[in-house]
Amino acid sequence: MGRAQVQVRAAHVGDVPLLAELWSELLRTGDGVALGDLVALVEQQETDPDLRVLVAEIDSAPVGALLVRVCAVNPVNPDRIVQAFAPQVVASSRRRGVGTALVEAAVTFAEERGINYVGAAALSSSRDANRFFARIGLGPRAVLRIATTSAVRQRLGSVRPARGADRRHVDRVLAARRGRRSRVPS
């Protein structure tokens, strides 16, 4: 199947069911919570010039989506960047230029605002999206790891020494390990 003519436009409320389907792994769950979040997001772009929910179409049928927003590179670097989140393309429309058209729209969004950087975020499990971003020149700059607060609290307890633990004990354990390593023949 050849490349199709892909058009990219701002999303409207009528696109919310498609967005919910494409972004199902990213959304909060609950009775209508996800749809409400998406409606609010789509409506927010009308008043926020630094936010766009983009929808790609082929023959007037929506086939992909991308959220772009302007923000600081990170909390300690105030340079501005356009972040492209959650690139998704309907399975039947992959490898037809939809992802490229969405990223081109993100780059245009950045250029219109005089922003020199574009970053992208995709699920770590999305091998195709991550390979696509690598092919177009986006390299890994940081890794965002996420877990529930309770899971992190539980794991912290298992890696942190008990309060009041004798520091000399840790030093002796490390010295013993170094000693064993040096006695192992190469």
pLDDT reported for residue 170? 78
Same domain, 26 and 111: yes
Q: How many CB atoms lie within 10 A of CB 138?
A: 16
Whether residues 99 and 15 share a domain: the answer is: yes
- Examine the domain organization and report whether 22 and 96 are in the same domain: yes
Return left, alpha or beta for 86; rule: phi > 0 is left, psi -120 to 50 is alpha, else beta. left
Q: Tell whether 42 and 71 lie within a shared domain.
A: yes
Please write the tens of the pLDDT for every residue from 74-121: 899 999 999 998 888 998 888 889 999 999 999 999 999 999 999 998
Give CA–CA dist 14/113, Å, rounded.
27
**pTM for the complete prediction?**
0.75
CA 123 vs CA 11, 57, 153: distances in Å: 21, 22, 24
- Domain identity same for 48 and 120: yes
Domain-located, residue 44: yes
Number of domains in the chain: 2
Sign of CA dihedral 29, 30, 36, 40: negative
Residue 1 lies in a domain: no
Which residues span the domain enclosing 175?
150-183
